[in-house]
Amino acid sequence: MDQTALMLLLCLCSSALSDELRLVAGRSRCGGRLEKKNLGDWEPVKEWNWNFTSAAGACRQLHCGSVVSSRRDKDDNVEIICSDSVRLVQGTNRCSGRLEVKTNQSWSSVCEKDFDLQDAEVVCREIGCGPPSVHQGALYGEAEAPVGSREFLCEGSESALLNCSSRKSSGRNSCSPGQAVGLTCSDQDDIRLVGEASRCAGRLEMIYQEEWRPVDVWDSYWTMNSAAAVCAELDCGSAVSARNSEEASERPVWFIFPDCLQSGSALKNCLPCDATSDQSHQLICSGLLVEPLIFLSSSTDGVSTGRKQGSELLIGSHFSIICSIRPQYDGGSFQLIFSTSNYTQNQTLPAVNHSALFLFSAAGHAHQGTYRCVYHVYVFSYNFSSISQPLNLTVSGKLMESIRKSSASVSAFLTALIIRLVVVLLGMLGPVLVLYFKARRNQKSGPENNHHDEGSRAEGSLEEETAV
């Protein structure tokens, strides 16, 4: 949004607190197009110094409640909707504070015992916030609820607190100052970054009144600090870059008043103004990458993820550590960091298909320690990295025990095998021996040397076989 457009918008979205104000053409006297009286004539307000405080001021000046919304209609007029007879005061944002109800043209607190969760639901809805999360006395300053105030009997679905049935408060003088209702409604607004492979990068959007739109803030007010606040709000670390981009055409945006950002308020607590613009804000936060996963794969246990209690390997088993990351960006590398109490070492492999395999031969006590995968990638002209959960590896000597156990069964098997072999061999040896003795008898009775040689050769080959 350029400066002229901004001035126009600010003029259109503005109010002058010193002037006589009114809201026209709305559903009630607390909602509609904002006008001020100028030399006897009503005209749309023109005020440079518009901000959310001013909107709240306009509602107050009109003896209405809190600002529920502000928008610009098709004829470029500003509409403000204030709640009619409820407001939250002294809160940290527009959706929290001490509850005040207007009765008979004056505002007063409400006694805790006259107010329940259903009543809170109605109030939160009426001021355009999400459902109540906390309601409790003296959260937002103390105030004395008037004696003889009303007890609200809402069903929860009413659109306004004064639509609920009520009855005269039962307790007399029993509402002490510390029991004035303080209310926290959840924020209905939320923000997100869209258009990139990560939830921590992209175009800034905001949902308001159930509609997602790009956010527009006047460029010179959109600083790295604002970007840092958004990254923090999204739990995405710190801001790496923030730039403004121009879209091909104008489209509906939520325009954020600069004062809300300057006051350090979270963006989602800023009340947006309905506008159109071709500007958008592109952000990149440091928490761009998702967390990589770490797996242990071993010849004995198969693949397992790092468990809280740690992973155990048998001495001598082959193992590998697999690092992998949900596909976001191509390329990058995995660094495997191994640490013990007195020693740290690392190795790096390129990421192939978003994973890397670190192979280890026979596990020994030197492999005991903590392993972590760190994924590194260069995108958007910056280096990013993210680290996995630790995998604690212990190597135990249980293998020897299992070898002993299994060797017992192996020797039993071998014994059975040898017995069978001997039986078979004896069976084969029998006819040969018969031949041998026959041959010896023949040798004694006649000269048949050739026969003898063949017999001894057969014997020799059998001896070899037995030895095997």
Which of 344, 406, 415, 456: binder of ligand NAG (CB under 6 A)?
344
**Minimum distance of ligand NAG from residue 136's CB (angstroms):** 27
Which of 4, 39, 41, 104: binder of ligand NAG (CB under 6 A)?
104
Does 383 engage in binding with ligand NAG (CB under 6 A)?
Answer: no
Q: Which segment (4-12, 61-69, 342-350, 391-399) binds ligand NAG by CB under 6 A?
A: 342-350
Per-residue DSSP letter, 326: -
Q: Which segment (92-100, 111-119, 217-225, 344-352) binds ligand NAG by CB under 6 A?
A: 344-352
Which of 3, 90, 136, 163: binder of ligand NAG (CB under 6 A)?
163
Each residue 287-326 as x (binds ligand NAG by CB under 6 A) or -, in order, gives ----------------------------------------
CB atoms within 10 A of CB 438: 12
Q: Where are the beta strands (DSSP E) in 195-315?
A: 201-208, 211-217, 239-256, 273-285, 293-298, 302-305, 311-314
Which of 170, 343, 445, 467: binder of ligand NAG (CB under 6 A)?
343
CB 466 within 8 A of CB 427: no
CB 23 within 8 A of CB 31: yes
CB atoms within 10 A of CB 243: 11
Q: Which segment (113-121, 193-201, 339-347, 391-399) binds ligand NAG by CB under 6 A?
A: 339-347
Does 160 engage in binding with ligand NAG (CB under 6 A)?
Answer: yes
Does 219 engage in binding with ligand NAG (CB under 6 A)?
Answer: no
Per-residue DSSP letter, 338: E
Which of 116, 142, 259, 301: binder of ligand NAG (CB under 6 A)?
259
Burial of 451 (0-12, 13-18, 19+ CB in 10 A): middle
Residue nearer to ligand NAG on the CB measure, 55 or 234: 55
Does 337 engage in binding with ligand NAG (CB under 6 A)?
Answer: yes
Question: Integer distance in angstroms from the first to the last C-alpha of the chain?
Answer: 92
Residue nearer to ligand NAG on the CB measure, 108 or 276: 108
Does 265 engage in binding with ligand NAG (CB under 6 A)?
Answer: no
- φ and ψ at residue 232, rounded to 5 degrees: -65, -40
Residue nearer to ligand NAG on the CB measure, 238 or 344: 344
Residue nearer to ligand NAG on the CB measure, 352 or 428: 352
Please name the residues in contact with 64: beta carbons below 8 A apart, sequence gap of 6 or more: 29, 30, 82, 83, 84
- φ and ψ at residue 395, rounded to 5 degrees: -115, 125
**Minimum distance of ligand NAG from residue 49's CB (angstroms):** 4
C-alpha to C-alpha distances, 320 to 73, 301, 311, 363, nearest whole angstrom: 64, 11, 12, 10
Angle between helices 449-467 and 398-445 (to 10 degrees): 170
**Minimum distance of ligand NAG from residue 212's CB (angstroms):** 27
Which of 342, 381, 409, 449: binder of ligand NAG (CB under 6 A)?
342
* CA dist., res. 311 & res. 293, Å (int): 15
* CA dist., res. 401 & res. 96, Å (int): 66
Which of 114, 119, 158, 205: binder of ligand NAG (CB under 6 A)?
158
Residue nearer to ligand NAG on the CB measure, 350 or 447: 350
Q: Which residue, chain included where needed, has tokens 């003296």? A: 138
Residue 451 is encoded by which pair of tokens? 């026969």
CB 336 within 8 A of CB 346: yes
Does 353 engage in binding with ligand NAG (CB under 6 A)?
Answer: yes
Number of residues that bind ligand NAG (CB under 6 A): 19
CB 244 within 8 A of CB 219: yes
Each residue 40-59 as x (binds ligand NAG by CB under 6 A) or -, in order, gives ---------x-x-xx-----
Does 170 engage in binding with ligand NAG (CB under 6 A)?
Answer: no
* CA dist., res. 445 & res. 440, Å (int): 9
3-state secondary structure of 352: strand
Q: Which segment (167-175, 279-287, 309-317, 335-343) binds ligand NAG by CB under 6 A?
A: 335-343
**DSSP H or E segment with residue 143:** none
Write the DSSP assignment of 220-242 as a string of letters. Answer: GG--HHHHHHHHHHTT--SEEEE
**Minimum distance of ligand NAG from residue 403's CB (angstroms):** 26
**Minimum distance of ligand NAG from residue 167's CB (angstroms):** 14
Residue nearer to ligand NAG on the CB measure, 346 or 415: 346
3-state secondary structure of 415: helix
Does 159 engage in binding with ligand NAG (CB under 6 A)?
Answer: yes
* CA dist., res. 216 & res. 194, Å (int): 14
Which of 117, 153, 352, 423: binder of ligand NAG (CB under 6 A)?
352
**Minimum distance of ligand NAG from residue 295's CB (angstroms):** 16
Question: Which residues of the chain form contacts with ligand NAG (CB under 6 A)?
Answer: 49, 51, 53-54, 104, 158-160, 163, 259, 262-263, 337, 342-344, 346, 352-353
